[in-house]
Amino acid sequence: MKLTRCLFYVMITVALAVPAAFSQLGTTTTTVTIPFAFTVQDQVLPSGTYTLEWINTRIYIRSSNLKQGTFISTHFVEGKENRERDVLEFTRYGYTYFLSRIWYAGRRDGRELPVSKLQTEMANKYAGKKVELGS
């Protein structure tokens, strides 16, 4: 009986603490104009103005005309220093750009996208070049 009551209190504590922790993460939004077509995972998005909304470990990318958009899973990456502005980092192979990392102003950490199968294939053919765009 004591074990059951103790487990019940632990479950209640966790149930109350987890949503509070996630609410502190909140969302971060940035808008940037991308002058070239780019690939996110295996989806090609045309050049244009995009809004990126960071919601916990996922990022929603949508075009300003709302015709293009996708959710992407990301993972934590730590940089060397705080960024002065929001930055999107692309890796270019040949003429193909892949969104690789997203950095937010005032933060040292960012979000990194997983490498897609297409990106791996392109990396085997071409040397990669880092390209950064800021908002």
Q: Domain segments of the chain: what residues?
A: 26-134
Average pLDDT over residues 48-77: 89
Q: Report if pTM > 0.85.
A: no
Q: Tell me the pLDDT of the chain averaged across its residues.
A: 81
Return the pLDDT at 65: 85
Return the pLDDT at 2: 53
Return the pLDDT at 41: 85
Instruction: State yes or no: pLDDT of 28 exceeds 60.
Output: yes
How many residues can be counted in the chain? 135
3-state secondary structure the chain: CHHHHHHHHHHHHHHHHHHHHHHHHCEEEEEEEECCCEEECCEEECCEEEEEEEECCEEEEEECCCCCEEEEECEEEECCCCECCCEEEEEEECCEEEEEEEECECCCEEEECCCCHHHHHHHHHCCEEEEEEEC
Instruction: State yes or no: pLDDT of 20 exceeds 60.
Output: no
Instruction: State yes or no: pLDDT of 9 exceeds 90.
Output: no
